[in-house]
Amino acid sequence: METQMTPAQLKRWFDSPEFERQYHTEAPLGAWLEENGTHFALWAPTAQSVQLNLYVSGHEGEALRRVAMRKGDKGLWLHDEYSRLAGVYYDYDVTVNGKTYRTMDPYAKACGLNGQRGMVVDLPATDPEGWQRDAAPAKPNEDIIYEIHVKDFSWDPHSGVPEKLRGKFAALTLSDTTLDGKGECPTCLNHAMHLGATHIQLMPVYDYGSVDEAGDPDAFNWGYDPVNYNIPEGSYASDPARGEARIREMKEAVMAMHKQGFRVIMDVVYNHTYELESCLFKVAPWYFYRQKEDGSASNGSGCGTEIASERSMCARYILDSILYWTEEYHIDGFRFDLMGMLDVPLMNRIQQELDKRYGAGEKLLYGEPWSGGECRPVPGTQLAHKGNMKKLNPLIGAFCDNTRDAVKGSVMDEESKGFVNGGGLWADRLAGCVRAWAGSYGDFALPYQTITYLSSHDDWTLWDKLICTMDESRSFAGSDPRVIQANKLAFAMLACCQGHLFMLSGEEFGRTKQGVKNSYKSPVALNRMDWQRCHENRELVDYYRGLIALRQRLTGLQDKTAAAPQRVLDVCQVTQDAAAIRLDNGKDCAWAEALMCFNASHQEVTLNLPQGSWAILADGESSLLWQKPQTITGQATIQPMAALILGQVKA
């Protein structure tokens, strides 16, 4: 009966409490092994019949065997085998409304080439040596989240990574790489460690569709086009056709990063799929997708589709997926792409379930608090966008566009300027940044929620944005000292903000994509981390490194509680383009107060200091002065286009 419904009628039925009552199930789904058997379970509530196909290969040849699945209750289709089918590939033929779809299992844990067929996998057999003892490093005082892309991170021939491993998960198992292998300038994770990063955020590493795993080895895409949510991407593995290789190699990478002292965060894209006719669509047409009233696909992602996170089996799918990555791959946190499309109750439930299993806040959750277009959830659904941050669990964070745009100008407009590139420096707005726009000062409940950043993979790199606004000749590949100075000032401002610090890899060496704003499918040569440039701009890298280390010592910036914004004691507009902010560090810090001064003008600025002695912790030249600080009283001079960070010496 229901199978004759139009897409618009299906929408109303799937939204009804009646559907949820009839079809919601917590029964196990997927394909899994037992001592003497293999179980298959698929949720396909509108199917008239389901056939299981078993194969020797993950991408070629006819089915070895075809089995009609038996219909269970709650929309389940089941089959049991009395032998262990580890290494056997499979897919389903799902017949709905007279139409048969051949599909992957949305719950598949392994697959063949290009994710076309699932594979029954003996998961413990994919564990690398020592995996049982693998654990995340202890939490640092301060999280420094460093965003990388598996392929562009080590692809550069100068990366010092052996050619065979470049662009692969395996490159992330190396901890001592240097420029051209000469033993001097650290590259890749060795560089990230020297810089002071504490968390590595991996751009999509689930199986995505835009790169042919059997094609050109230099093919490149960011990977925001999910195909299989619970399987690693094959182009990062040594052999994408062998189902277990990508699993083991991703685990090896996670384990190596843990050993090196990093926590590992995955970028997850549950808001849309690569194509509308995904495996989620084929097993239950339209159920997992939001629709317009006429029944066509809603496009809140700007990528063609929009996942219906508020429907109970869709919510279960997303939660199951997150729990699987934490359990099976030891992932320490998740960055939710377009989190503003997912609903508040689901996000809160994910946090709650993770806290219950691993301890409060042990797994870090944050996302983009916006969408890519108009969203059409069930009326009354609260979405996890910026305006609803205070309705989210206080441990769920979001990217802060206020600070990002205030410091260097809007990402929407190439010409738009911020504090450091001639847009003017207002003390009040700067104080909003420092207070992480939290509590009564903005959208965030407390600084714990605020992901403070200047650049991510999206939009111009920080360097390119500065070139666009400061250099009429647009010489992106250069190292204009004026732009270096503005870059230093920008990061000094960021490093003085409360909240979690986040950065795109390479921001610290003036990473350029030659002004390309959206490089998601640009060649890897354009996207790559240019390790020679890292060496050329090592002075800028050192400036970042010093501030990151200083931040680990300033309690006033580490406080992530709702009381933290009150640590800002005074906000002072010194001149039209210079401001100073006094921050209370409390008694647990070497410096009771910090005085953070920023001069975005081209003249020196003199500042009258509050009473007492002040140690110079960082200025526009060096961010390592705090290691052996000079002390001043009375007045301070802030150099043109520079920061000056002072610490009050205890009496």
Contact positions toward Ca ion, by CB under 5 A?
207, 234
Question: Could you give the dihedral angle defined by the CA atoms of residues 473, 475, 510 and 576, in that order, rounded to the nearest 10 degrees?
Answer: -10
**Whole-number minimum distance, CB 241 to Ca ion, in Å?**
12
Which C-beta is closer to Ca ion: that of 115 or that of 620?
115
* Three-state DSSP class for residue 71: strand
What angle, 0 to 180 degrees and rounded to 10, lies between the N-to-C axes of helices 481-495 and 538-551?
A: 10
Question: Is 368 marked active-site?
Answer: yes
DSSP state of 354: H
User: How far is Cα 468 from Cα 355, in angstroms, rounded to an integer?
Assistant: 44
* Three-state DSSP class for residue 197: coil
If residue 637 lies in a helix (H) or strand (E), which one and from where to where?
strand 635-638
Contact 395, 448 (CB under 8 A): yes
**Whole-number minimum distance, CB 94 to Ca ion, in Å?**
22
**Whole-number minimum distance, CB 151 to Ca ion, in Å?**
12
User: Which residue among 368, 443, 507, 508 is the active-site one?
Assistant: 368
User: Which residue among 81, 93, 306, 337 is the active-site one?
Assistant: 337
User: Measured in whole angstroms, how far is the alpha carbon of residue 595 from the centre of its chain?
Assistant: 32
**Whole-number minimum distance, CB 359 to Ca ion, in Å?**
33
What is the separation, in whole angstroms, between the first and last Cα of the chain?
Answer: 82
User: How far is Cα 178 from Cα 161, in angstroms, rounded to an integer?
Assistant: 8
Which C-beta is closer to Ca ion: that of 136 or that of 241?
241
Which C-beta is closer to Ca ion: that of 207 or that of 464?
207
Give the sign of the dihedral formed by CA 188, CA 189, CA 194, CA 199: positive
Which C-beta is closer to Ca ion: that of 219 or that of 562?
219
Which C-beta is closer to Ca ion: that of 207 or that of 577?
207
3-state SS track over 77-98: EEEEECCCCCCCEEEEEEEECC
What angle, 0 to 180 degrees and rounded to 10, lies between the N-to-C axes of helices 481-495 and 401-408?
A: 150
Which C-beta is closer to Ca ion: that of 30 or that of 234?
234
Return all residues near 211 (Cβ < 8 A) that are at least 6 apart.
219, 220, 221, 223, 233, 235
**Whole-number minimum distance, CB 637 to Ca ion, in Å?**
56
Which C-beta is closer to Ca ion: that of 227 or that of 557?
227
User: How far is Cα 63 from Cα 80, in angstroms, rounded to an integer?
Assistant: 18
**Whole-number minimum distance, CB 115 to Ca ion, in Å?**
5
What angle, 0 to 180 degrees and rounded to 10, lies between the N-to-C axes of helices 462-470 and 481-495?
A: 130
Of the candidates 497, 601, 510, 495, the one whose C-alpha atom is nearest the C-alpha of residue 549 is 495
User: How far is Cα 422 from Cα 470, in angstroms, rounded to an integer?
Assistant: 8
Question: Is 310 marked active-site?
Answer: no
Question: Which residue's CB comes closest to Ca ion?
Answer: 207
Residue-wise DSSP of 264-292 = EEEEE--S--SSSSSHHHHHSTTTTB-B-
**Whole-number minimum distance, CB 333 to Ca ion, in Å?**
23
Which C-beta is closer to Ca ion: that of 225 or that of 443?
225
What does the block give as tokens for 479?
Answer: 């190292």
Contact 12, 25 (CB under 8 A): no
| 438 half-sphere exposure, CB direction, 13 A CA radius | 29
**Whole-number minimum distance, CB 211 to Ca ion, in Å?**
6
Question: Could you give the dihedral angle defined by the CA atoms of residues 508, 509, 515 and 519, in that order, rounded to the nearest 10 degrees?
Answer: -70
Of the candidates 119, 132, 42, the one whose C-alpha atom is nearest the C-alpha of residue 85 is 119
Which C-beta is closer to Ca ion: that of 111 or that of 420?
111
Return all residues near 563 (Cβ < 8 A) that are at least 6 apart.
none
Question: What are the catalytic residues?
Answer: 337, 368
